[in-house]
Amino acid sequence: MSEALQWLLAACAGIVTLATAAEKIRMVFSPVSKAAKRFDERLDDHEGRITRLERHEDSDLRRIVEAEEMSRVLCNGIFCLLEEAEKTAAPEDAQTIRAAKKELRDYIIRK
């Protein structure tokens, strides 16, 4: 074999060796990069969900506050109606109304 042919074969063997090594390295790091990409996508998804939940939390809190205010107004209105009903009710009905007023008053105080 001539020396030129040996150099050519050695260069080809070196190229094949480098290509094989590069392929093996790519195979080793490919799952890592895929996992990192999936992790980034999941992280972005979670951040979006957290943002949506925070927006809902604000609107839910506002609705709860409004509902509590409405409940307070309704309880006060019912209490006033019971006061007036007690004044005009027959004596046997007045006792029932007083019991309802007491129950409502206790509820308002506990709140």
Q: With a cut of 70, say whether residue 1 has pLDDT above it.
A: no
pLDDT tens sequence across 32-78? 778 778 888 888 888 888 888 888 888 888 999 999 999 989 988 99
What are the boundaries of each domain within the chain? 3-110
SS3 content of the chain, % helix, strand, coil (to 5): 95, 0, 5
The Cα–Cα gap between 85 and 97 comes to 7
- Percent pLDDT > 70 in the chain is 98
Token match 């939390």: residue? 57
Q: Indicate if the pLDDT at residue 111 is higher than 80.
A: no
E strand spans, the chain: none
